[in-house]
Structure 1
């Protein structure tokens, strides 16, 4: 299932991409008089029963020939694929080549830091650059969305706690990131965690550790890798994090970025991102997330 959020009248609504177009879930529930969760939070909490109801609603909307329930994807304004996570947890240096290009030691345990809800942005959204920074960088990442409460789960069971996957861009202001020993400031400006365009439910991703991942800037390829190159797999990350904090339904994990960030270039070749640049993150079987920077 390919879920997304769209914005209308300053509110976000859950939708699903179908062969007929983008189905407005709330409108479909009201029109077809069906039982079905109308928010992502409720859908995740209801688990298999919620997904079953959603699939029934989609089938009914298509077979009932109700074109007014469907929207053209080119005409919607996207919201983040996840809009209200309790936690946004990020993993640093999770690809060997990226750790090496950053001139940092290859970690023996996951390096964790956090972002906040102010950093969320949707596909095609514009990200305003903070005035007190100059060294802006991209980081293409596979994003994991938790599906049920996870506390001290085993690595063998960990994937069953994942609701779905999305594409993310861990935007970074490197001069702010390394101003002190803590990375938080350079990672947490408004809009610095775009997620989208879709949230793909886990049954459609056969192996999260075998997905191509890439990043382009203004059409030029900057990153090209595969999630099999991660040091710590998605299952390992869920297992590890859940030992120290309870993961809640809807929590988000940015799983790290591969080689190719601007930080890894030789200093004379570092041309940092600027207003007007368009960054696209593409992950196999998930989609392409595109954002534009602005002053």
Structure 2
């Protein structure tokens, strides 16, 4: 493809895309997590461009203004994978290097399982293989870390509470309030403000929460399959949402070359460790990581 991809359509919805780097570079598709947009990758992408890669980062279902179907059924994993597969097909460049963080990682795992012909390599960030995550829920403290998933099932209240919290921080004239909010969320100021602007203020939050609400109406499906794609999983030691057990179990669900990378960071690896993460992605892409 010789032109920039600024959007694509699937299921009648239009998705925004950030397409950067050398047009003739090998494509790397970057899938964001919750509660973020394609802008999550703004610190990682330049380091991939320096290595000659072209990055394509979609703002996914529920987040793109033109792709906000109502009802949780529209956010089941098969629909999210369908979006990713359509984007890769739209590029017309053959299989891509696929990277996902958080929920984007879950979509990446499922895409690699359902469409191995579309994925050259997989780099999953934070979220382990779905079955490894499920097993970690009953063999570690992961269930306690995931209590918020149950809270997110409540209608209306989570989006109201989260939106109100972001707006309260913005309107407060007390630096201590903002400092406590950043400490609690483990975000930096730029990231916090971007989520407020791009997700809360645009009305995307209720739709983004549907990703969690759809979990109870659709099982892991194809995501239960082992992945043959060469894969690197990245976990961080200070992740408040995901424990080490899921990362350790993930190796059992990859039949191709596999490597686990552990970084000293919070859950927000793309913002905190962009240089190291770009290096890990590139190493998996060019096969030089030894895994």
Shorter-chain TM range is under 0.3
* Higher strand proportion: 1
* TM-score calculated relative to the size of structure 2: 0.25
Q: Over alpha carbons, which structure has the higher Rg?
A: 1
Structure 1 or 2: larger helix share? 2
